[in-house]
Each structure stands twice: as C-alpha cells, then as structure tokens.
Amino acid sequence: MRKSVSVILLAGAISFGAAGQETHSVGTAEKFDNQKVVRISPRSIADVNLLEQISGDRWTCGAGGPNGEADYRVRISDLPLLNQAGVPYRVIIDDVQSLIDGEQAELFNPFQDRGFFDAYQDYAAVSAYVDNLVATYPGWVTRISLGNSIQGRPIFGFRATSPVPPIGGSPRKPVVFFNSLQHAREWIGVMSNLYVATQLLSTYSTNAAAREMLDTYEFVFVPISNPDGYNLTWTGQRLWRKNARVISGTVRGVDLNRNWSVGWGLSSGSSGSSTSETYRGSAPFSEPETQVLRDYAISVPKLVASIDFHSYSQLVLRPWTYQYTLPPGKVAFDRIGSAMVNAIASSTGTQYTYGGPDILYLASGTAPDWFFGTTGSVALTIELRDTGQYGFVLPASYIVPTGQDAWAAATTMITSLCRADLNRDNFVDDSDFVLFAAAYDAFLTNAADFTGDAITDDYDFVIFADAYDHFTCP
C-alpha cells in the first residue's frame, strides 16, 4: 500500500508522496499535479479498501454514513483502476494543484489591502492577533500558553470573559472551550474559531446574548492545536494533516484526533500504521500536543461545553465518535445539535447536518469523546464549509461566512445548554431535583455546580430553582 504524504526534513533526503510517485526534498513544495478529488459511492467495503490503497488520503465523508459517499484524492493515472473495478464515482475537484496555486497567488498578492478575516493567517499572524485582542480588551482577554508542540512551538490560546464576577465568589466562571486545527490542513477552523472570539468580544455592548454569555462563562480559545503541522501547510506541504512526529527518520506524524484516550486504539476508527493519515500514535496521549490540551482541560474546575472545529462537510457531530452506541443524554444532544443547525440555516442560509457517527464514520480516540467521556460536558465536532467544491483549499472569501456559521452554532450551543437538566432528558423536573438534592447534600461533587467553584451549594440552588420554575429547557 502506498503511504501517505511524508516530508523529509533531512537535507538531501528524498521521499515518496501520496497519490503520486513524485519525490521532493527539503524546502520544495509538494506538488499535486494531475490529481483530482473523487467522490465515491462505495458498493461495499471492497471499494473503500481499493481507494484506501490507491489514494491513502481520504478527504472526508459526506453525510450519509459509513456506506455513504467518501472523498479521496487520487492521481489521474489511477482512475483506470477505479473504472476497471467499476467503483461508482464522480470528480468533485478537477485539479488539486491549481486550487493550491490559486490560493498561493491570493495569499502572497502584495497589492491587496486586507483585513484579518479577508485572508488566511499563519502562526505568527494568529499569535499577533491574540496579542491584539489582549491589548484591545485589557482585563477581559488573557493570553495563555498550554505547552509546546513536538518541534517546540508554543501552543497558545486565550481566556476571555467580562469583568462581571463569578457568582458566589467562585474563583472562576464555568468554562466553554473552543479548539481548532488538530488537523493541519483545515485552515478554516482557525479563522472560524477566532471569528467566534472576535464576535463575542466586540458585540458585548450591543448583543444581549453576547453579554449574557461573557457574564456567565469564561471562554477558552485554542486556535492552533497543531502548530508544527500548520507550519508544514504554510511551507509547501499544503495538505498535511497530522502532527510532525518523526518516525524512522521521517516526519510521518500522528493524527492528533486519534490520540486521545477515550476509545483509543480501535481499528474501526483509527490506524496502527504510521503511514496512515489516521495513525493513532504508539499510546494514548503519546503526543505532546494532545497532552497539553488534556492537561489544560483537566486544570479547568468546571468545563461545561466544547467545540472541536474541523473541515469540511458542514456537520455538527455529537459523541460518541468511536462507537455507534448512543451516549447518555442523547436527547439533549439532539435538542442542542438541531438548534445549532437551524440557527446556522437562519443566519447564513447554509445547510449543516447534525448527527452521530452514523452520518460520517467511526473515529477512535478523538478529542470530543475524551471531553465528553471524562467530564460529561457537551462536546461537539463541527465540520465547517464546504461540501467538497474546494474542500480544504477553501477560498478566503468563505472565511467570514463560515465564521458566521460558527458564531451562530456556538451561541446557540451555549444558550441551549440547559444545565439544570441534570439527567439530560430535556425537562427540568422532579427527577432533576432529586439529582440536585443528592449533589447538594454531598456538598463536594461538582455534578450540579453551575457556578464553577467545584461545590454544589446555595448559589447553585438559586440557579437550579430558577430553571426548575420554568420546568423546561429554554
């Protein structure tokens, strides 16, 4: 089987590219000439296996499930293999390299006067933007450093909240966490994440929902979870997905979204082979990037919700991602997820689909499964635009509209949380009261801690009682 994209960092060394036999050495951009992206409609698993063999680079699956359509990057010279085998497919991207060339021309056009969200931004520019936010919103935004990537790049982020103090003298408000770019080539995630942060902060005084959110919660944004991979995509390896772990002398990489401990290691949703694009790594949390994200999340006293931004396919995905078994609180996920896709549709007219692994594919060892599995908080994956016209090489003109999708989704998720619905059946009723009372009596558990102080106490009771009076989720 042909292996996936590999980069050689050692001078003079040579490697073979995926879906292409071209070789390249240090500093040379990997080229994707004579390659297309095809959308296959597999008749059986054999068709998928054939594509895994000749391509090795699945871009994504469209909504429709494991037996639905899947997108693969292939060489033109391999199309006869598909034809011979009779695999039903259509070409969705005719010329991968020309998309990348167009993007490069736009990126490095010196004559364009652009705002931050009119163009994709590299690691240094994103870092500078975070400093700008800190300077623009002193006391509201704090830069954080979570730790370093495998090549030593800081994984930075920022905390954002209003000066309204946490209820009841709690040291910290409950936290909502937004994470993007575990996958290096999914540039739109970085921009959408920053767009959400910017909207939240800049509309505080004009938008009641933004004010309510910033007064109630603290937001943590980590725009670039995989800085080494991001760097590769900006320096010639535009379609790099994984991190930059060196294996057998070559940068092969681990898929960070297969490296988390919940569901880790299953071959149904990850690979044990380092040449695969879904290589899970040698052990759960073998990678520094997932370690530092995990450690930061563990340090948060009360995490209420998180979104892991990816692209593409326009999906809102609930847990579990590693198994079809329904998660506890599935009805609450359904309520929140449906509200999110409806909100996106009414905001930008763009259709997203909500669902579980049945509408995509199984993925083992993902971040959202870990967040949900270990904290019980609402944890979602959002696959942003588009649906395959441009795939990962989404033109910059999509940044603002996709940011608006993300903003509609994020605000709706938060305002739909209904935290007092402790058993997550979409009603705040006596069965929740029983759970609340038990937590209150035990005094230590943070199960019903709405204030974020890790104790269920009278302050939480006030919040619970208010929701109980309304008897239903808002």
Catalytic residue IDs: 383
Please, which residue, 60 or 199, has the CB nearer to ligand 0X9?
60
Q: Which stretch binds ligand 0X9 (CB under 6 A): 94-102, 222-230, 299-307, 355-363?
A: 355-363
Q: Among residues 258, 246, 125, which one has the least CA distance to residue 182?
A: 258
Binding residues for ligand 0X9, total number by CB under 6 A = 14
Answer whether 121's CB lies under 8 Å from 190's CB: yes
Single-letter amino acid, residue 267: S
Which partner from the list ligand 0X9, Zn ion, none does 339 bind, CB cut-off 5 to 8 Å by kind? none
Strand 246-247 versus strand 175-180 pairing type: unpaired
Please, which residue, 17 or 62, has the CB nearer to ligand 0X9?
62
Find the Cα–Cα–Cα–Cα dihedral 130, 136, 141, 147, rounded to 10°.
Answer: 20
Say how far residue 23 (Cα) sits from the centre of its chain: 31
**What Cα–Cα distance (Å) separates residue 282 from each residue in 148, 156, 167, 227, 230?**
19, 25, 43, 20, 22
Single-letter amino acid, residue 176: V
Binding residues for Zn ion, total number by CB under 5 A = 3
Q: Which stretch binds ligand 0X9 (CB under 6 A): 294-302, 326-334, 353-361, 437-445?
A: 353-361
Q: Among residues 403, 4, 469, which one has the least CA distance to residue 202?
A: 403
Residue 280 sits in the site that holds ligand 0X9 (CB under 6 A) = no
Which residue in the shown chain puts its C-beta closest to ligand 0X9?
Answer: 310
Q: Which stretch binds ligand 0X9 (CB under 6 A): 11-19, 109-117, 121-129, 361-369?
A: 361-369
Shortest separation between residue 310's beta carbon and Zn ion, angstroms: 3
Shortest separation between residue 140's beta carbon and ligand 0X9, angstroms: 31
Shortest separation between residue 366's beta carbon and ligand 0X9, angstroms: 5
Answer whether 8's CB lies under 8 Å from 250's CB: yes
Residue 310 sits in the site that holds Zn ion (CB under 5 A) = yes
Burial class (CB within 10 angstroms; exposed 0-12, middle 13-18, buried 19+) of 164: exposed
Shortest separation between residue 112's beta carbon and Zn ion, angstroms: 28
Q: Among residues 134, 204, 142, 206, which one has the least CA distance to residue 175?
A: 142
Residue 258 sits in the site that holds Zn ion (CB under 5 A) = no
Shortest separation between residue 182's beta carbon and ligand 0X9, angstroms: 7
Please, which residue, 186 or 432, has the CB nearer to Zn ion?
186
Q: Among residues 45, 35, 138, which one has the least CA distance to residue 95?
A: 35
- Identify residues 163-202 at the interface with Zn ion (CB under 5 A): 183, 186
Please, which residue, 189 or 373, has the CB nearer to Zn ion?
189
Out of 257, 276, 364, 411, point to the residue binding ligand 0X9 (CB under 6 A): 257
Residue 379 sits in the site that holds ligand 0X9 (CB under 6 A) = no
Single-letter amino acid, residue 345: A
Within 8 A by CB and 6+ apart from 352, the residues are 314, 315, 316, 340, 341, 344, 345, 382, 405, 409
Please, which residue, 217 or 240, has the CB nearer to Zn ion?
240
Residue 412 sits in the site that holds ligand 0X9 (CB under 6 A) = no
Q: Which stretch binds ligand 0X9 (CB under 6 A): 24-32, 215-223, 242-250, 357-365?
A: 357-365
Q: Among residues 100, 98, 388, 78, which one has the least CA distance to residue 240?
A: 100
Shortest separation between residue 307's beta carbon and Zn ion, angstroms: 13
Residue 126 sits in the site that holds ligand 0X9 (CB under 6 A) = no
Q: Rounded to an integer, what distance in angstroms lies between the CA atom of residue 58 and that of residue 401?
A: 26
Residue 183 sits in the site that holds ligand 0X9 (CB under 6 A) = yes
Q: Rounded to an integer, what distance in angstroms lies between the CA atom of residue 263 and that of residue 243?
A: 20
Which partner from the list ligand 0X9, Zn ion, none does 451 bind, CB cut-off 5 to 8 Å by kind? none
| Rounded to 5°, angle at Cα 418 from 405 and 473 | 100
Q: Which residues bind ligand 0X9 (CB under 6 A)?
A: 60, 183, 186, 257, 310, 317, 321, 357, 360-361, 363, 366, 381, 383
Q: Which residues bind Zn ion (CB under 5 A)?
A: 183, 186, 310
